[in-house]
Structure 1
Amino acid sequence: MTPVPLRVAFAGTPDFAVPSLEALLESDVELTTVYTQPDRPAGRGRKLRASPVKTLALHHGLTVRQPVSLGTEAPTLQAEKIDLIVVVAYGLILPRAMLEVPRLGCVNVHASILPRWRGAAPIQRAIEAGDRRTGVTLMQMDEGLDTGPILAVADTLIGESENSQSLHDRLAVLGARTLRPLLAQLSRTPVPAIPQVQEGACYAQQLTRAQAWLDWHEPPDVLERRIRAFNPWPIARSQLDGMDYLMRHARLGPPGNWAEPGVVVAANDDVLQIQAGGGTLELLELQRPGGKALDTRTFLNGHSIEPGSMFMAPGPPDAHR
């Protein structure tokens, strides 16, 4: 006897969710509805732009719902007799009434090994903290913030020079790859979920532009990780002579204190060396707002930076712009 396919709804919005939606499209499930955030103004013209998930869903002729609030969505899902909801970077919290609709519950694909880095920015915070490993967790959702019991985990090493974009792309694929066998298993039998331990739990605070300003009193390894963590957004930055400089890639320079923190120790050829706390940092890729990201040699050919000048954070009036 042929098993009846699971009736599944999907909720996701950004690029990170696209591989998981593709995994559902390629699986033996009946994808009934796709939830995604409302279209948002984007680009210089501020025209409404559909989310990557909506674009893919419409390409495959799927039903798309974009409610501003989920408070009245439970009856719609009940009428569709949903077995499962898969949630990946959706952007709205599912209310209890919605969590209770599917008979198999709601499964979330989260970009960390829970309970470490619950919350909005697990990829960036893992790099910033210097974690050696990270991964994805598939959990049974509850009313807490990433606190539900765990259904599956897959881990991966974080590369020494990896930034948030490259890790984001790898974890998106890893999440989809981990979701496929779970869907197959759920279609046959219930999957036991393991409660999260509280030891090691921490919160991945949302990123802001204000956090992107570098404090040159910090050690160079801390600054180097922050530059990678904040690439491609909000992009680590500092000011020199009142002008903003965006810093996309760096490496550790020679140790030692040669000048005050923030002072340019060397600026020639492909070397732009800045004094930090207890060592130096060599900037490898820079950008002026509105300009292109350039390697150091190309950047210095078009922008004069003199040894002895000082990078610093802006004053309080501009610190949160």
Structure 2
Amino acid sequence: MRIVFAGTPDFAVPALAALIESAHRPVAVLTQPDRGVGRGRRVQFGPVKRLALEAGVEVLQPHSLRSEQARQPLAALAPELLITAAYGLLLPPAVLELPRHGCWNLHASLLPRWRGASPINQAILAGDAETGISLMQMDAGLDTGPVLLQAATEIGAEETAGELHDRLARMAALLMRDGLERLLSASLPEAAPQNPALATHAPLIDKQDARLDWSDDADRLARKVRAYNPWPVAFGDIAGQSCRIFRAGARSDLAGAPGELLRGHGQRDRIIVACGRGALEVFELQAPNRKRVSARDWLNAHPDWI
């Protein structure tokens, strides 16, 4: 089968690798144009492009697929199926209609819950017990197409967005492979329409979303720390010091004025901040222009916090 794969970041790499190593090696890869990174704006290839080039797979990098001219290289490949995973560009109807089997998307949630750009983060923020991967038949909407297959998984009590991202990326590769095997054996179930009444939205994340408001509930703040690790990383002020907070946990047994650094609890290696309800124990943090350290190492350097 002539398959074109579309993806850009790390999340898409396991699925592309699975295709390359299978009997369904893609005829080409679509990925977003190269972008400059860092202060020098040095051009850097994305993870999907790097893997495709290493494997000798043709790479297409259109800025848009809306014009017929931009679609010509893709149409010339005569794809029978297009599979996307975190591609980052909406596919216009002319592209969706191009392959005879249509276009599939691997989405990191159990649709219709968490349609949009940040499903992993939102699932953790909301305190969802589980999430998963949806293999959907794409339509013109944003993650609105009918669902072919799903695979669910529990969210670990201390799992960060980065850790969950990596697990779901591997699950996506397995679900894609299952979908292809079922398609080729004519056993793929009919795509089930999503119930729009159950849909929730996962918007793009802004760095300011990660600011910790100490008047909030400690449980929610602990989820926020997990949801924004590794990016953009939760941050807030503790004892007048701006800090990025990488790992933390809620404490229901302690209380104080929101934002107060709770001292004198018999633990010289703990950083605990009072919240609107309960308190947040900080395990790993970072001051501006300093390295990330444990609470114990921080307190060794800041004895006034004890």
Extract unaligned runs of 5+ from structure 2.
none
2:286 corresponds to which residue? 287
Q: 1:277 Cα deviation (Å)?
A: 1.0
Q: 1:242 Cα deviation (Å)?
A: 5.5
**Cα gap change, 1:304/1:38 in structure 2, threshold over 3 Å: closer, same or farther?**
farther
Q: 1:234 Cα deviation (Å)?
A: 0.7
2:211 corresponds to which residue? 213
Q: Secondary structure in 1 aligned to 2:150?
A: strand
2:49 corresponds to which residue? 54
Q: Is 1:296–2:295 an aligned residue pair? A: yes
Counterpart Cα distance in 2 of 1:135 and 1:222: 21
2:106 corresponds to which residue? 109
Q: 1:27 Cα deviation (Å)?
A: 2.2
Counterpart residue type for residue 293 of structure 1: R
Counterpart Cα distance in 1 of 2:165 and 2:25: 28
Counterpart Cα distance in 2 of 1:147 and 1:283: 39
Q: Secondary structure in 2 aligned to 1:139?
A: strand
Q: Please say if residues 74 and 101 of structure 1, whose CA atoms lie closer than 8 Å, have aligned partners that are also in contact.
A: no
RMSD: 1.6
Correspondence list, 1:227-238, <5 A: 227-238=225-236
Extract unaligned runs of 5+ from structure 1.
1-5, 308-321
Counterpart Cα distance in 2 of 1:74 and 1:289: 46
2:130 corresponds to which residue? 133
Q: Please say if residues 214 and 238 of structure 1, whose CA atoms lie closer than 8 Å, have aligned partners that are also in contact.
A: yes
**Cα gap change, 1:194/1:139 in structure 2, threshold over 3 Å: closer, same or farther?**
same
Q: Is 1:252–2:250 an aligned residue pair? A: yes
Q: Secondary structure in 1 aligned to 2:26?
A: strand
Counterpart residue type for residue 66 of structure 2: G
The answer to which of 232-241 and 211-220 deviates more is 232-241
The answer to which of 83-92 and 290-299 deviates more is 290-299
**CA displacement 1:65-117 (0-9 Å, x = unmatched):** 11111123433332221100000001111111111100000000000000000
Q: Secondary structure in 1 aligned to 2:109?
A: coil
Correspondence list, 1:1-321, <5 A: 6-72=1-67, 73-189=70-186, 191=188, 192-240=190-238, 243-258=241-256, 260-266=257-263, 269-306=268-305
**Cα gap change, 1:304/1:233 in structure 2, threshold over 3 Å: closer, same or farther?**
farther
Counterpart Cα distance in 1 of 2:52 and 2:220: 40
- TM-score normalised according to structure 1 size: 0.89
Q: 1:240 Cα deviation (Å)?
A: 4.2
Counterpart Cα distance in 1 of 2:207 and 2:223: 16
Q: Please say if residues 255 and 278 of structure 1, whose CA atoms lie closer than 8 Å, have aligned partners that are also in contact.
A: no
**CA displacement 1:139-191 (0-9 Å, x = unmatched):** 00001110000011000000000000100000000000111121122234373
Counterpart Cα distance in 2 of 1:32 and 1:254: 55
Q: Secondary structure in 2 aligned to 1:68?
A: coil
- Of Structure 1 and Structure 2, the greater strand share is in 1
Q: 1:256 Cα deviation (Å)?
A: 4.9
Q: Please say if residues 13 and 54 of structure 1, whose CA atoms lie closer than 8 Å, have aligned partners that are also in contact.
A: yes
Counterpart Cα distance in 1 of 2:219 and 2:238: 21
The answer to which of 69-78 and 17-26 deviates more is 69-78
Counterpart Cα distance in 2 of 1:82 and 1:188: 19
Counterpart residue type for residue 299 of structure 1: W
Q: Please say if residues 9 and 48 of structure 2, whose CA atoms lie closer than 8 Å, have aligned partners that are also in contact.
A: yes
Q: Secondary structure in 2 aligned to 1:284?
A: strand
Counterpart Cα distance in 2 of 1:80 and 1:306: 63
**CA displacement 1:10-47 (0-9 Å, x = unmatched):** 11000000001011112222411101111112235431
- TM-score normalised according to structure 2 size: 0.94
Counterpart Cα distance in 1 of 2:58 and 2:235: 42
Counterpart Cα distance in 1 of 2:129 and 2:57: 39
Count of matched residue pairs: 301
The answer to which of 187-196 and 176-185 deviates more is 187-196
Counterpart residue type for residue 243 of structure 2: Y
The answer to which of 134-143 and 77-86 deviates more is 77-86
Counterpart Cα distance in 1 of 2:284 and 2:6: 36
**CA displacement 1:197-229 (0-9 Å, x = unmatched):** 123210012111111111111110000000000
Q: Please say if residues 140 and 149 of structure 1, whose CA atoms lie closer than 8 Å, have aligned partners that are also in contact.
A: yes
Counterpart Cα distance in 2 of 1:305 and 1:37: 49
Counterpart Cα distance in 1 of 2:194 and 2:304: 51
Counterpart Cα distance in 1 of 2:132 and 2:198: 15
1:317 corresponds to which residue? none
Q: Please say if residues 299 and 305 of structure 2, whose CA atoms lie closer than 8 Å, have aligned partners that are also in contact.
A: no
